Amino acid sequence: MYLGLQHLHSYMGYLVLLGLLISFGTALAGLSGNKVFTDKDRKLGLLGLIPTHLQWVIGVILYFVSPLGMKNFSGEAMGDSVSRLYILEHPLTMIIAVILITVGYSRAKRQIGTDSKGFKSIAIFYGIGLLLILLRIPWNAWLGN
């Protein structure tokens, strides 16, 4: 079960990044074109939101079943940078990113048909969330190094 969840979490990461990049790019294009935020744009925002939430759920489950997660939590592990990444830094940063992305989508969906504020919400919150995700992906493990 652990190995399957670990692979699912890794491969799902590509969908998360792709969805966030599409949503973020669409928001930037709409913002620069000074367009009105429509229901179609809201649905494009879901391309970033839904995979991010699914990834978070898989990550939470993985955190409790993985030997690198909660089972490894100790004062000694905090001294090791790799252990600290898996125990604290990666999960905490991802939770913050998911919250920001959710707030961005929630704010944007209230702006349908008014002006470009929906694009601005998605661009800012998804952009910061994407940056946080990119900063705390365990690249060595992800790229098979």
132 residue type, one letter: L
User: Can you tell me the mean pLDDT for 96-116?
Assistant: 92
| Tokens at 34, concatenated | 């000074």
Domain borders along the chain are 2-142
Read off the pTM: 0.90
pLDDT in tens, 76-86: 778 878 888 88
| C-beta of residue 119 within 8 angstroms of C-beta of residue 31 | yes
pLDDT in tens, 10-69: 899 999 999 999 999 999 999 998 899 989 999 999 999 999 999 999 999 999 998 777
| C-beta of residue 92 within 8 angstroms of C-beta of residue 59 | no
- Cα 81 to chain centroid, rounded: 22
CB within 8 A of 34, min separation 6: which ones?
Answer: 116
Nearest CA to 116 among 33, 27, 36?
A: 36
